[in-house]
């Protein structure tokens, strides 16, 4: 699958701000610093497309990107900041929950985890939450270039076990540095969604 066109559409907090194009959505989520902006930039083939989400004041927004005029890539705010108040945490939870509960076009989640480490309690909670809402989940292990080749299978096993993935649920390892497996990520993210 080729990404021919990728456009930033809008940032939103509330439902009335979500775009009303009726396109199927794939939502990206992960711990802050996991490499979410980097992978979104690679998929959309733009250097700074997803950086809007990193500018102060925009970190708590849901960002929508139109892909090939046929799907929406949704960038959800990252979680697990070291220094975050209870109030901020609650605000984050509300934005995510509002989005999940109110987006009829949401088809799939892409959960980003660091390929080097055992998924965190937050990652596990996030995945359980998606399962509760019966959404498709694709797990992408980021920063593959930082992983020794010998450790790939071992780490995949740890990630699978920690997240409780079924055999048919996919984990793809990806590097934003080398772009290894980018095409596989794109094909899997949009499988059944884009032609």
From candidates 36, 64, 67, 130, binder to ligand GDP by CB under 6 A: 36
From candidates 28, 74, 78, 99, binder to ligand GDP by CB under 6 A: 78
Q: Is 145 in the site for ligand GDP (CB under 6 A)?
A: yes
Residue nearer to ligand GDP on the CB measure, 54 or 102: 54
CA triple 173-174-179, angle to 5 deg? 150
Residue nearer to ligand GDP on the CB measure, 37 or 66: 37
Instruction: Give me the long-range contacts of 122-125 (CB less than 8 A, separation at least 24).
Output: 122/31, 122/79, 122/80, 123/30, 123/31, 123/162, 123/163, 124/162, 124/163, 124/164
Quick one: angle between helices 182-189 and 36-44, nearest 10?
Answer: 80
**In the bound complex, which residue of the shown chain has the CB atom lying closest to ligand GDP?**
35
Q: Kindly state the number of chain residues that form the binding site for ligand GDP, as judged by CB under 6 A.
A: 16
Residue nearer to ligand GDP on the CB measure, 30 or 119: 30
């Amino acid at each position: 699958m080729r990404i021919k066109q990728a456009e930033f559409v809008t940032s939103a907090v509330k439902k009335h701000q979500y775009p009303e194009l009726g396109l199927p959505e794939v939502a990206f989520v992960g711990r802050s610093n996991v490499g979410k902006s980097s992978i979104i930039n690679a998929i959309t083939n733009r250097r700074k497309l997803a950086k809007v989400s990193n500018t102060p004041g925009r970190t708590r927004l849901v960002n929508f990107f139109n892909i090939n005029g046929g799907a929406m890539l949704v960038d959800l705010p990252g979680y697990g900041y070291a220094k975050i108040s209870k109030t901020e945490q609650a605000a984050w939870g509300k934005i995510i929950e509002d989005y999940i509960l109110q987006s009829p076009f949401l088809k799939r989640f892409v959960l980003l985890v660091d390929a080097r480490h055992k998924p965190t309690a937050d990652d596990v909670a996030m995945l359980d939450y998606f399962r509760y809402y019966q959404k498709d989940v694709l797990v992408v292990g980021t920063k593959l270039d930082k992983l020794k080749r010998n450790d790939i299978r071992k780490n995949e096993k740890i990630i699978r076990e920690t997240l409780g993935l079924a055999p048919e649920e996919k984990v793809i390892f990806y590097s934003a540095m080398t772009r290894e497996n980018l095409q596989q990520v794109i094909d899997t993210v949009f499988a059944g969604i884009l032609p």
